[in-house]
Amino acid sequence: MSKSKRIAPFNPLDKTNLGESVAEALLQQPVGSMPPTEPFIGAGVYAIYYEGAFALYKEIAEQNRNELYRWPIYVGKAVPAGARKGGYGLGADPGLALFKRLAEHATSIEQATNLRLADFRCRFLVVDDIWIPLAESLLIEMFSPLWNRKIDGFGNHDPGRGRYNQQRSLWDVIHPGRPWAARLQPPSADEQIVREGAAEFLTLTKAKIMVQPEGAGDSQ
């Protein structure tokens, strides 16, 4: 008698399954303006989509136009203040954490000299504190967003006086315009090298995005 195959039982409380359920819930949310038009209370996760004419992002834009929204250019989280200070933030008042984070991103895009805010859209999900980091990690793994994986620095803040000795981010190399970024030190790579690396990354990543399960990221 052959040995029976052992199949691992599904555990609905497994952290990966729970994280995936939150990620899927985000992808079922409607896509709207960037930033949202009305302030709202809550912390959570979000995805930002690009559908404009910036040549480097052509592959991304093609996956998002015509209300497809299949490939976010950036995925992020906004947590209550307690979580940012090293605590879990459980039960903390989130205030307008998620709305403010999206508004900050909108300001960065508006300040860039070669981007238009009108070319960006977003979807978001208010989530209980404990699931936010896990959901963000799974979404990044799922979509490999360019501004998370390759062109980093979009989510950076002004480091403040006396801290401008750090290098300018790759995002600020490609998208100059944030006033505080101009005070930072020159980056180790020039713009052409950054662009070439990004183009290669997009070519390799597109195949992964194209095999996403039907319905992933296409809810409006």
pLDDT tens-place string over residues 130-152? 889 989 999 999 999 999 999 99
Over residues 115-120, the mean pLDDT reads: 98
At residue 71, the pLDDT reads 96
**pLDDT level of residue 82 (50, 70, 90 thresholds):** low
H or E stretch covering 75: strand 74-78
Whether 155 is in a domain gets the answer yes
Torsion of CA 94, 143, 70, 202, to 10 degrees: 130
- What residue has token string 């690009």? 50
Whether 205 is in a domain gets the answer yes
Whether 107 is in a domain gets the answer yes
At residue 130, the pLDDT reads 84
Domain range for 165? 15-210
At residue 18, the pLDDT reads 72
Whether 5 is in a domain gets the answer no
Q: What is the pTM of this model?
A: 0.87
Average pLDDT value for the chain: 88
What span, in angstroms and rounded, lies between the C-alpha atoms of 175 and 35?
Answer: 19
Whether 37 is in a domain gets the answer yes
Between 45-59, 88-102, 113-127, 132-146, the lowest mean confidence (pLDDT) is in 88-102
pLDDT tens-place string over residues 168-214? 999 999 999 999 999 999 988 889 999 999 999 999 998 877 766 55
**pLDDT level of residue 15 (50, 70, 90 thresholds):** low
Percent of the chain with pLDDT over 90: 69
Q: What is the token pair recorded at 5?
A: 């195959």
State the sign of the Cα–Cα–Cα–Cα dihedral 184, 168, 157, 108.
positive
Whether 34 is in a domain gets the answer yes
Whether 166 is in a domain gets the answer yes
Whether 52 is in a domain gets the answer yes
Helical spans, DSSP H, in the chain: 15-27, 58-64, 81-84, 97-111, 132-143, 146-149, 170-174, 191-210
User: How many domains are there within the chain?
Assistant: 1
Between 98-107, 110-119, 130-139, the lowest mean confidence (pLDDT) is in 130-139
Q: What is the token pair recorded at 76?
A: 């992020």
At residue 204, the pLDDT reads 92
